[in-house]
Structure 1
Amino acid sequence: MPLTTPHQIEQHIARTMAFYHPRCIDPQAGFYHYLTDDGQRYNRHHRHLVSSAGYVILYARHAIHTGAPEALKWVRHGLKFIEEKHYQTRTQGYAWTLEHGKPDDATHRGYGWASVMLAYATALKAGIGEARAGLDHVHALQTRHFFEPHWQLYADEADTHWQLTGYRGQNTNLRSCEALIAAFEATGDAAFLKRALNIARTLWHKLAPMGDGWLWEHYDRDWHIDFDYHRDQPDDLFRPWGFQIGHQIAWARLMIGLARHCPAESWLIPTARRLFIEAVEKGWDSRHGGLVYGVDFDRQPLNRDKVYWVQAEGLAVAAMLGDLTGEARYWRWYDRIANYCWQHLIDHQHGGWYRILTPDNRRYSREKSPAPKTDWQILGACCDILPIMQRQHGERKTASSV
């Protein structure tokens, strides 16, 4: 069985990192954001905020895993680029995209801000003490411009004059909740954890009932479901129509993390367990394997493509729940997803995972890692799975260098 022993997980972490390091590094401008299947760089001068943050997270997670000083060097390198190029002093915001170091799209998007916050928090967890100032700065600005206290949720988007649009989405709040949990773990500041918990409570106690127990993607400014938004775009990169299988599973992961810190919140683990099982059962492609990208309101497949991060979330949460409960059904799902990834998504020749496959598991292109993909979700999933497998096999932690 693939990805079932600590040694296999260690090897996969090393091979995933080897695809990116050092070819992703641009000594003058952060990281290269576009790599083909065999690692060739293209679109060399375009930068995306989510990728810039993602590479920081990638190297920070690897630094935590290995303790390698060189990884920390590249974490600092990535943060420097975010601070000097993405951050715009005039507007006090982060440019969504850059071309040759200049803003190409200066729209303020909450998902990008949450990604930057997660980058700072992960860097701080990796031992970069100066990241605390950046973490506090982005958190304060995100609170000022995006957080709506009467909803206990973040708005999604603003123009360059900080006028919020009417769109609201769960995806920005998912990433923000993850960043807040990481910030609490890095600092011990309970205010971060309190807000993360309030976001989860609001979404899952007040909004999920509108989706029969699942979270819809899109809402209006009053947090009513917007069924028409992107109805014709079920494959949109950041705002696809429908229920997203990967997002339901990702929320299960965050609930497990919140439960670790908030044991009195007795609803978290039962909800995570229900959500995971429902999502994988409705999302599994019984003909071609893998978890589909999206389903409609009736939980019928809508976008049958197989996207890398969806499978990675499934792997991590299956292992977490298997470890937490001891129930065999979670390990059966783990083996099923791991076998699918091993056969179809993992590039055994060059390393890394393919970004997206057709419903019958063919590649759409040779573009393995175009922005915003950096495979930090894969490395993170493996780093979360590793101690679980070590407990299962009674092994101690080992590490390799960058």
Structure 2
Amino acid sequence: METTVHIADLPDFESEAVLRAHVGQTLAFYDTNAFDPAGGFFHYLKDDGTVYDRTHRHLVSATRLVFTQSMAHVQTGHASYRERTAHALAHLEVFRLPTGPAAGAYAWTLRDGVIEDPTVMAYGQAFVLLARAHAHRIGLCSAADVAQAFDTMEALFYRAADQAYADEINGAGTLIDYRGQNANMHMCEACLAAYAFTGEARYLQRAQSLIERFVFGLAEASGGLVWEHYGQDWSIDWDYNRDNPGNIFKPWGFQTGHQTEWAKLLLIAHGHAPDSRYIPRAVALQQAAWQHGWDASNGGLIYGFDPEYRPCDTDKYFWVQAESFASAWRLWRVTGDEAFREQYLQLWRWSWLHLIDHVHGAWFRILSASGGKLEDTKSPAGKVDYHTMGACWDVLAVGGLRP
């Protein structure tokens, strides 16, 4: 069953009530379909909520569910979401490696409750820190638990000489040569949350250091935008995954949504410790993402563009639109520039008409350039609508909305 939404039916996206109602509808999709009484949540849901893989679990989904459930508790005050956060947090421990060079870290995937892929990804460990920070906020983790997640990342991946985290420890316990910005960006996000909820200065300092390295340092070598892939010495690798621009975690090209995510992180960090360089840098990243990523013919932001700023993946991903409306709203509130308010509204309008499932709830994961359906898997590994609900909660936190 599908429904058609017309432009005349669009709600007021500058209304707090509209955003809260939308988050409630998204949560309801997962409340109804994802909870697994035997442990954790199901990670693979079709558009209608049908679970299409009951036995596989992914670390990124597992950690992000701690985030969504804890935030739902904070936003609604409902005890059930605190209980679900505890349920998700307990299941996360099944991923923990008991022995080996990375003992205490978290494996990438499970099958039937047993570790399937023991690869230790810095990307996944960063989300362990984010999960614990949010669990700490609602009293389910101690500050020491948050510190342990940070210290594990420090020991396994951080290289002080590089001012950055390495990326992956394979099943043999070897740190591979590949380096990437994506894990570092999410570690910056996790550190900002850890600082917000514990007050420990080292988390903010690390977030600021990562901003310096990636947004002000390495970006200079790639035309002022943040490139994805690097060699062991942090020299740019222009070819990594060139034949796989749609890769979920390591896509090729400039990622439209990663420019805007960094813009958002700059503004969050600026809110904690004002830096006169952060706002203009966030403006530049957002404007570049819009210039090179906005699809003037069809609407919406494309997934990625190449080093010559030509589109390399024109599909429309849910998270790109969500992260970009959050950064646009933050920029509108801090600069007063109407262009960012209009970006916020344009992204919401396109998403409401195309990406949001008004029948079953939540957002579709990916559409074609013109907005056509490409798959019927609403929430495969890693999605859980962390980006979409998180963007709404971020806008709500920033404020400036009508009731």
> TM-score band, normalised by the shorter chain?
over 0.9
CA deviation map 1:118-148 (0-9, x unaligned): 11111212x1243433322221111001000
- Distance between the aligned counterparts of 1:213 and 1:236, measured in 2? 23
Residue 100 of structure 1 pairs with residue 109 of structure 2: no
Which residue identity lines up with residue 99 of structure 1 in the other structure? R
> Corresponding residue for 1:400?
none
What residue number does 2:6 align with? none
Question: Over aligned residues, Cα RMSD in angstroms?
Answer: 1.2
Task: For 1:191-340, list aligned pairs within 5 A.
Answer: 191-263=202-274, 265-340=275-350
CA offsets per residue over residues 151-194 of structure 1, 9 Å max, x none? 11000001235321000000000000000000000100000110
Shift, 1:95, TM fit? 1.1
Distance in 2 between the 1:38 and 1:52 partners?
21
Give the Cα separation in 1 of the matches to 2:193 and 2:321. Answer: 22
Give the conservation status (yes or no) of the 8 Å contact 2:121–2:167.
Answer: yes
Is residue 119 of structure 1 aligned with residue 120 of structure 2? no
Question: What does residue 398 of structure 1 align with?
Answer: none
Which whole-Å CA distance do the structure 1 matches of 2:349 and 2:211 have between them? Answer: 32
Given the alignment, which residue of 131, 139, 145 partners 1:134?
145
Q: Which runs of 4+ in 1 moved over 3 A?
A: none
Which whole-Å CA distance do the structure 2 matches of 1:237 and 1:130 have between them?
Answer: 30
1:399 maps to what in 2? Answer: none
Q: d(CA) in 1 for partners of 2:50 and 2:390?
A: 24
Q: 1:368 aligns with which of 343, 364, 378?
A: 378
> What SS class does the counterpart of residue 369 from structure 1 fall into?
coil
- Which of 350, 354, 360 is matched with 1:350 structurally? 360
CA distance in 2, matches of 1:392, 1:16: 20
Higher relative contact order (CA 8 A, sep 6+): 1
The answer as to 2:96 corresponding to 1:87 is yes
Deviation at 1:67, TM superposition (A): 1.6
Q: Find the aligned partners of 1:132 and 1:205 in 2 and give their Cα distance.
A: 31
1:180 corresponding residue in structure 2 = 191
Q: CA deviation at 1:282?
A: 1.1
Q: 1:116 Cα shift?
A: 1.1
* Whole-angstrom CA distance in 2 between matches of 1:392 and 1:43: 39
The structural deviation recorded for 1:298 is 1.3
Q: Distance in 2 between matches of 1:113 and 1:387?
A: 26
Deviations 1:247-283 (A, max 9, x none): 00000000001101121x2111110011111111210
Residue 85 of structure 2: aligned partner? 75
Contact 2:135 2:141 in 1 (8 A): no
Query: Is 2:42 the counterpart of 1:42?
Result: no
What is the alpha-carbon distance in structure 2 between the residues aligned to residue 123 and residue 280 of structure 1? 35
- In structure 2, the gaps of 5 or more residues are 1-9
Residue 392 to residue 305, structure 1, CA distance change in 2 (3 Å): same
Separation (CA, whole Å) in 2 of partners of 1:352 and 1:188: 33
Does the C-alpha gap of structure 1 residues 374 and 148 become closer, same or farther in structure 2, counting only changes over 3 Å?
Answer: same
- The normalised TM-score by structure 1 is 0.95
Contact 2:328 2:341 (C-alpha < 8 Å) held by counterparts: yes
Amino acid at match of 1:15: Q
Q: Is the 8 A contact 1:46 1:97 kept in 2?
A: yes
Instruction: Say yes or no: does 1:26 pair with 2:32.
Output: no
- Residues 9-51 of structure 1: CA deviation (Å, up to 9, x unaligned): 1110110101101421111121100111111111100000000
Match among 8, 19, 22 for residue 9 of structure 1? 19
Q: Deviations over 1:347-394 (max 9, x none)?
A: 0111100000011211111110011110011111111112445x342x
Q: Does 1:63 align with 2:73?
A: yes
Return the offset for 1:75. 0.7
Q: What is the alpha-carbon distance in structure 1 between the residues aligned to residue 141 and residue 212 of structure 2?
A: 32
Distance 1:244 1:97 in 2: 25
What is the distance in 1 between the residues matched to 2:128 and 2:401? 34
Q: TM-score, normalised by structure 2?
A: 0.94
SS at match of 1:291: coil
Is the CA contact 1:173–1:199 (under 8 Å) kept in the aligned structure 2? yes
Counterpart CA distance in 2 for 1:328 and 1:365 is 36
Q: Please tell me the residue identity of whatever aligns with 1:328.
A: E
Distance 2:74 2:284 in 1: 31
Residue pair 1:72, 1:128 contacting (<8 A) in 2 also: no
Q: Is residue 34–residue 41 contact of structure 2 (8 Å, CA) maintained in 1?
A: yes
Farther off after superposition, 22-31 or 111-120: 22-31
Are the counterparts in 2 of residues 145 and 162 from structure 1 also a CA contact under 8 Å? Answer: no
